[in-house]
Structure formats: structure tokens, C-alpha cells
């Protein structure tokens, strides 16, 4: 069932979901949720008050310590997650419509994102009953390790692909036995709020999952600083991540942070030309490049640079833009008009510094596009690697193409970044490709490939974050280790004292 922007508010029962019930936010200054296709208001949401945030954390703490949650077997938590996945699949079209209206991502992509979110839930449902410890024989003693949940986990969700980025942390954390308080972005909160309906229908115990809305400066801050929160999941920009990390440092609260990226794409001489063109096109412009793992810096041998960029620009210029709910649309609007203006300012600055725009570079104003935040795929050449546009994360479809003579030169430039989330290599020489993968300062390297999935651990080096989502690594993130040592013989005192 698709929904229109005008009918979407009816699918969202209220502003918050706390302790098993929907509530109206009592915080100050309601905020507008806007459709980026035409910048029309979809609805207004009242944010949570500080008291409601505290109540949500307290509810999650009570739920974690309740007999119904603490005595629940891992496989039973898995059954809850699996039931949730099936409900999400049942409402795939509804959630895809909500995501497209809220974020501007084309529905052909949001359908895939909702299906992937269900896969996350199913994957971690299967792991929920498989959390294992270790055993060591120490002679007169033995030691075993227990992997135990932290307790209440606060999750702060970004505005780009919010459902998918929420479910990946949520699924792993719940599979490990934690309870949750989730705060979606004020820019795109609607799919996460709708998710509360599925949590309720799936039969999650009261208080085990809570959702609060509002700005990061108030609601997010109150949540991170809640005395019962034992770990924080944050996905977002580097500056905001530093603020969260600073807050968590005061309470010694551990974090999982996925922050920014400025992904390098290294193209070698040994490539399948058409495959590499299509691959770079996807890595640079999929989902409007409003993803931290987008490839935004392209390094091509000087002898190949001009024909490669020309072919890439020709294809990029033909990507259909339009209404995200139209199945023919392949590139939607940026999430906000503010983001569009900021990116256009970066492009203008690069042009003043000598950059050449090979395609795109200005707001799209064609039929049906003028009211939206549309930026066509943009490729810049005559770039030096020290330019701001080549160093800062723009979070939009702008690709900087830079030539190189020696591969070591390209590798040095690729690693010359404060980020290290995703890197891409196009090379059909197996030895060279794996040598590059080992040398790249990046948490994820994709060789002749693109995209991550539930089984692939995902996270960054350097300023791109702390910890890993997905795969077995995520199960380590959301459990803490308790070491238990047991004596097998009579204990011998360390003190030589008279017998009593």
C-alpha cells in the first residue's frame, strides 16, 4: 500500500512511543517534516520533553530488569525479531513510500532498503540464541567467560536511509538482550515512528523498545546523558559524533559511532572498462551520495583520465531525476534545501579555485524539478587534492576526479584524509588489488564491488568512527565480557597465621 504525502500523518499514531504506549510530545517548539520533492510540509511533530526522555530511559531500564526480559531465552528474542521482520515485509510498500516521501530516495531504492532492513532483523534473529562464551582449564582452577548484555542502549538515528540504519543496530542490540531507546532525526523521523506499530504488534514486552523524537541538542543530549543508558549507538556527521563522544566520556559510556566518509575510488590500468564505468557511477551517485560510504574522490591514471571522465559524465548526465514515488526515477532530491545550498557553495568555491565542472554543478530546474532540492550528478576535474571540495564530506552527488602517474601517488592521496570508512578498487590484477586493499586506511574495502549487507562487518578507521555494525562483530559490540574463575581444590591462604 503506497501512501501520499497528504495521507501520511494518519499512518503515524503519535509523536513518541514510551513504555508500550503512544504519547504526544510535550517538549517546546514542534518541528516540521518536509517532503524534499517539493518542500511542502508533510506534518508537524511535537518533540519529547526532558521528562519524557527520562521516562523512556527509565522504562527501558525497568524492562531490562524485569523477569519477563531477563529470563527470556536467546531464541525467544530471535522469534520476536523474526516476527518483526515478517511484519515489515507485510508493510514493505507502506514503509518504502514513507521513506521516499521523507528522504527523497526513489521508491525503487527504498523498496530494497525496507527488504534489507527485514534481512537485518532475520539475520540477527538467527544469532540471538547463539551467543557463546569460552572455557580455560587452569589446573586447580577453571575460567569461563560470559557474554552479557549492557542494559539500556540509546540509539540516535540519522536522516539518510533511517529505517535501514536503525534496524541494523537495533536488531543486533536486541538479539544480545539489550533494551532500547531510539531517537530518529527531526529531518526524517516518520519510518522510525511507524516502526513502533510493528514493535507493538510483534509483542515486544512493555518498555523494551521506546522511541522519542526531537532535536539532538535537547532530546539527544538528554538521552545520551541518561543515568540508565549503558551504551550509545550514533550514526551521523563527524562534528556531531565528537559531541556525543565528549558527552559519553563524562559518564564513561561506551559508544558505537559510524561517522563521515570521503571514500576514494582507485582505478587501475587493468580493468574491464564498461564494468568500471558502471561501478564508479554507482559508488559515486547511488542514493544521491547521501551515504557516508559514497565514493567521492576518483583517482585514475593520467593517460586514462580524460576518456574515463568523459564516458562517466556522459552516463551520469542521463540518470533520470524526478518524483521519488515514480518507479522510473533513479535520482531523487537532496533531503533539504539547506543541504543543496551548502553543496552548491562548495562547487562555486571549487570553480573559483580552478576546478572544471564536467557535468551537473547547478540546481536542476527541469519539468517537475524546480520546487525540489535536485542536484544532478556532478563531476569536477582540474582538482588538486588539497582543495576543500576534495577533503570535506559534502554528502551529495559530487565526484572529484584526479589523475595520477604512479599508483603509490594515488594511494598516498587516498589515505590523505581524516576519514576512513569505505574505499573502492577497480583492478583485475589480483595481486595488485589485494596489495591496495591492505594498504588503504579504511575499515571497508570493496574490490570490483559495491554495497554491504548483514553478514559484512561495517565501520570506519580514523575519524569515520568506532566499533562495527553487522556480522558477528556486532554481537561483540552489544555484549560485554564477564570473566568467572572457579577454584576446584581447597583454598590455600596467602597468609601464615596461627590456627583458630
Distance between start and end Cα atoms, the chain: 80
Hunting for cell 522469534 — which residue is that? 79
User: Which of 91, 225, 243, 258 is flagged as catalytic?
Assistant: 258
Q: Which helix (H) or strand (E) holds 305?
A: helix 302-316
CA distance 277 to 66: 55
Is 469 catalytic? The answer is yes
Is 43 catalytic? The answer is no
Whether the CB-CB separation of 329 and 321 falls below 8 Å is answered with: yes
CA distance 307 to 426: 16
DSSP code per residue over 374-428: ----EEEES--TTSHHHHS---SSEEEEEEESSHHHHHHHHH-SSEESEEEEE-S
Whether the CB-CB separation of 389 and 355 falls below 8 Å is answered with: yes
Is 393 catalytic? The answer is no
CA distance 2 to 325: 9
Query: In sequence order, what are the beta bridge partners of 256?
Result: 233
Is 160 catalytic? The answer is yes
CA distance 241 to 460: 13
User: Which of 11, 113, 160, 225 is flagged as catalytic?
Assistant: 160
User: Which of 292, 359, 400, 427 is flagged as catalytic?
Assistant: 292
Residue 253, Ramachandran bin (φ over 0: left; ψ between -120 and 50: alpha; else beta): beta
DSSP code per residue over 230-267: EEEEEES-HHHHHHHHHHHHHHT--EEEE----EEEEE
Burial of 374 (0-12, 13-18, 19+ CB in 10 A): buried
Q: Which residues are catalytic?
A: 160, 258, 292, 469
Amino acid at each position: 500500500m503506497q501512501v501520499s504525502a497528504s495521507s501520511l500523518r494518519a499512518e503515524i499514531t503519535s509523536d513518541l512511543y514510551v513504555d508500550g504506549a503512544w504519547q504526544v510530545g510535550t517538549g517546546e517548539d514542534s518541528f516540521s517534516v518536509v517532503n524534499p520533492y517539493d518542500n511542502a510540509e508533510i506534518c508537524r511533530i511535537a518533540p519529547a520533553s526532558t521528562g519524557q526522555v527520562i521516562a523512556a530511559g527509565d522504562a527501558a531500564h525497568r524492562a531490562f530488569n524485569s523477569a519477563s526480559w531477563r529470563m527470556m531465552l536467546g531464541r525467544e528474542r530471535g522469534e520476536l525479531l523474526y516476527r518483526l521482520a515478517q511484519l515489515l515485509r507485510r508493510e514493505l510498500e507502506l514503509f518504502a513510500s514513507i521513506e521516499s516521501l521523507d528522504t527523497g530516495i526513489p521508491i525503487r531504492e527504498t523498496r530494497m532498503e525496507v527488504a534489507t532492513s527485514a534481512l537485518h532483523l532475520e539475520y540477527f534473529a538467527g544469532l540471538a540464541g547463539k551467543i557463546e562464551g569460552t572455557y580455560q582449564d587452569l589446573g586447580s582452577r577453571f575460567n569461563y567467560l560470559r557474554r552479557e548484555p549492557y542494559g539500556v542502549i540509546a540509539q540516535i538515528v540519522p536522516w539518510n536511509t533511517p529505517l535501514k540504519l536503525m534496524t541494523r543496530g537495533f536488531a543486533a542490540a536486541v538479539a544480545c538482550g539489550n533494551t532500547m531507546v531510539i531517537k530518529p532525526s527531526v529531518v526524517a523521523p516518520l519510518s522510525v515512528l511507524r516502526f513502533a506499530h510493528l514493535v507493538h504488534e510483534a509483542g515486544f514486552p512493555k518498555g523494551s523498545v521506546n522511541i522519542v523524537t526531537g532535536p539532538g541538542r535537547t532530546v539527544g543530549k538528554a538521552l545520551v546523558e541518561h543515568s540508565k543508558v549503558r551504551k550509545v549507538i550514533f550514526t551521523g556527521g563527524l562534528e556531531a559524533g565528537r559531541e556525543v563522544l565528549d558527552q559519553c566520556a563524562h559518564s564513561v559510556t561506551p559508544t558505537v559511532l559510524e561517522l563521515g566518509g570521503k571514500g576514494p575510488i582507485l582505478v587501475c590500468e587493468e580493468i574491464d572498462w564498461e564494468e568500471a564505468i558502471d561501478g564508479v557511477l554507482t559508488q559515486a551517485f547511488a542514493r544521491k551520495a547521501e551515504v557516508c560510504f559514497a565514493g567521492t574522490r576518483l583517482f585514475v591514471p593520467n593517460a586514462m583520465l580524460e576518456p574515463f571522465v568523459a564516458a562517466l559524465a556522459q552516463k551520469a548526465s542521463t540518470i533520470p531525476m524526478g518524483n521519488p514515488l515514480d518507479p522510473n526515477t533513479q535520482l531523487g532530491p537532496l533531503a533539504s534545501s539547506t543541504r543543496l545550498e551548502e553543496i552548491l557553495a562548495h562547487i562555486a568555491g571549487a570553480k573559483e579555485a580552478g576546478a572544471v565542472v564536467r557535468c551537473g554543478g547547478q540546481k536542476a530546474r527541469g519539468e517537475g524539478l524546480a520546487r525540489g532540492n535536485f542536484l544532478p550528478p556532478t563531476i569536477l576535474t582540474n582538482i588538486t587534492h588539497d582543495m576543500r571540495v576534495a577533503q570535506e564530506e559534502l554528502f551529495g552527488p559530487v565526484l572529484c576526479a584526479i589523475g595520477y602517474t604512479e599508483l603509490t601517488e594515488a594511494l598516498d592521496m587516498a589515505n590523505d584524509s581524516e576519514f576512513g570508512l569505505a574505499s573502492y578498487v577497480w583492478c583485475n590484477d589480483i595481486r595488485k588489488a589485494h596489495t591496495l586493499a591492505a594498504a588503504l586506511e579504511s575499515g571497508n574495502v570493496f574490490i570490483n564491488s559495491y554495497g554491504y549487507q548483514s553478514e559484512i562487518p561495517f565501520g570506519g578507521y580514523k575519524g569515520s568512527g568506532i566499533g562495527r555494525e553487522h556480522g558477528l562483530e556486532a554481537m561483540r559490540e552489544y555484549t560485554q565480557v564477564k570473566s568467572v574463575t572457579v577454584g576446584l581444590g581447597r583454598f590455600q591462604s596467602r597468609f601464615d597465621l596461627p590456627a583458630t
